[in-house]
Amino acid sequence: MNTHARYWLLALVLAGALCAPCRAEEDAPLHQLRRDPFDFSAIIPPAPEMAPEPTPTEQASTFELRATLVAKKHSLANLNGEILGVGDEIAGYRLREIGEDKVVLEKGGKQLTVLLDQ
């Protein structure tokens, strides 16, 4: 037998072996074959539970002043990645003042000063 014929014979044997499970599924009841092809719960673990939303007092302690731009009436501050102007709100606090190295926030009559990290 020549080499070419051997390869064809090997291919036919492998094809038959690979199709044997397909024939077994044809004999199975229809209700056993139905499954959700997008159900990955068996291989992907469930997502961890999310932490609860922080309260405003917790958020106040986590303000990060990244940059300020002082320009009379058009001063801006980058607070927690948000660009804010005087009078804008963030996490229930109103931005009252923007300085070269600080901002002053107010909530319920109480003021909070956040310093620029250098």
pTM, two decimal places = 0.48
> SS3 breakdown of the chain: % helix, strand, coil, rounded to 5?
30, 30, 40
pLDDT tens digit sequence for 76-85: 999 999 999 9
Strand pairing category for 102-107 and 82-85? unpaired
21 phi and psi angles, rounded to 5 deg: -65, -30
Mean pLDDT of the chain: 77
State residue 6's pLDDT score: 79
Find the mean pLDDT for residues 57-67: 70
Task: Domain 60-115: give its CATH architecture.
Answer: Roll (2.30)
pLDDT tens digit sequence for 88-114: 999 899 999 999 999 999 999 899 999
Find the mean pLDDT for residues 4-21: 70
d(CA 115, CA 4): 79
